[in-house]
Structure 1
Amino acid sequence: MYQLTAFRCAALFLLIGGIAPSIERAYAISESRPEVSGEQTAPPLILPDLEGRQRSLDEWRGKVLLVNFWASWCAPCQAEIPRLVRMQQRYGDKGFQVVGVGIDTARPLANVRRSLGINYPILVLDPDRAGPLLRLWGNAARYVPYSVLVDRDNRVVYRQSGEVEDTVFADFISPRL
């Protein structure tokens, strides 16, 4: 009996020791400074929307795009959605477009859209296929939320893990409209 308890304690200790650095890295990335490049062309992105229609980022070429990767189960993702809704509402007619890429199935994403009043397109990314696509878009750690700003010339000009702050609009988006 004692050996089994000691084994469980040792296993728990190892588990916690393995998880703690991951949590620390996740926090550090979400608090990191955004990356700004302007050199890379935005990768292609063709995914179904919530109604099952294939959509491509090419539909919004010539606009300033904020591609926001998120998940229905992610609390920080849901916390930033009202800010993205306001940005789309205020600046959509000036050539700005938010495109949400939900890493989930359509039903939970549609539920979040309904409950938070999302006013921009949501594309559906199968969680089993998310890793390679997130890496292609510069998110090797696969954290969400993750946002990429693409200028009118289809160049990646900004990347950020974590919630998009209001200052991002003033610093990166507004000058490109």
Structure 2
Amino acid sequence: MNRKILVFCVVALIAVVAGIAFYGYRDQASSATTEPGPELNFSLPDLQDVPQPMSQWRGKILLVNFWATWCPPCLKEIPEFVKLQTEYQDRGVQFVGIALEDKQPVLDYQSRMKVNYPLLIGGEDAAMLAQRLGNVINTVPFTVIVDPQGKIVHRQLGELSREKILEVIQPLLKPN
């Protein structure tokens, strides 16, 4: 009996330490700021197979969201992104969705949901791109917020709330 309790306690301790390490990294990664660099210098095709360079949005507050149609938290946050894109586009905010899958499911989703910001197809390469941007645990959704100077000011592993977006972008917004 004592041996079972000891094994249970060791396993519980390992789980607690792993949880603390994960949340510590998540908090550190989500608030980290980096200098602009080559990680934001890429181009991906849109739903019409036209390459879209990220440089076209330089000077804007950019929210780059890595997502997939098979990801329930991703689909949950997109309607709020659509609202925020409408509300804040005139103040220099631009959302860009990068799908971690093939084009057809994204086309089907777009035809149903009418997403009002660019959806790019990243496929398998998008996971490596997300990793370069700070998604070290390879999760979706994953979002980076970039200031108008091209610096990453926020990384979000997992779902991103309206409140958190506004907290990060408010100081960066152009006046009305």
Partner Cα distance (1:41, 1:174) in 2: 20
1:48 aligns with 2:48: no
Aligned residue for 2:63, secondary structure, equals: strand
Unaligned segments of structure 1, at least 5 residues: 1-20
Aligned length: 150
Matched, 1:169 2:165: yes
1:103 to 97, 100, 105: 100
- The CA RMSD measured in Å over matched residues stands at 1.9
The structure 2 residue matched to 1:152, chosen from 148, 154, 163, is: 148
Corresponding residue SS for 1:139: coil
Q: Aligned equivalents of 1:130 and 1:172: distance in 2? A: 24
State the alpha-carbon separation in 2 of the partners of residues 89 and 55 from structure 1.
Answer: 21
Tell me, in whole angstroms, the C-alpha distance in 2 between the residues paired with 1:108 and 1:118.
Answer: 14
**8 Å CA contact 1:61, 1:152 repeated in 2:** yes
How far the C-alpha of 1:40 sits from its partner, in A, is 2.8
Whichever residue aligns with residue 64 of structure 2, its letter is V
Q: Is the 8 A contact 2:99 2:126 kept in 1?
A: no
TM-score, scaled to structure 1: 0.78
Identity over aligned pairs, percent: 35
d(CA) in 1 for partners of 2:60, 2:172:
9
Counterpart-to-counterpart distance in 1, 2:141 and 2:127: 14
2:138 maps to 142
Secondary structure of the 2:56 match is helix
| Long gaps (5+) in structure 2 | 1-14
- Choose 35-44 or 136-145, whichever is displaced more: 35-44
**Match of residue 78 from structure 1:** 75
- Alpha-carbon distance in 2 for matches of 1:70, 1:113: 13
1:126 aligns with 2:123: yes
2:123 and 2:169 mapped to 1: Cα distance?
A: 29
Q: Which amino acid aligns with 1:39?
A: T
Contact 1:81 1:116 in 2 (8 A): no
Q: For residue 147 of structure 2, what is the amino acid of its counterpart?
A: D
Distance in 2 (CA, whole Å) between partners of 1:88 and 1:94 is 10
Secondary structure of 1:35 counterpart: helix
CA deviation digits over 1:131-175, x for unaligned, max 9? 321211111211000000000000000000111112123310121
Q: What is the rounded CA distance, in whole Å, between the counterparts of 2:78 and 2:84 in structure 1?
A: 10
Q: Which runs of 4+ in 1 moved over 6 A?
A: none
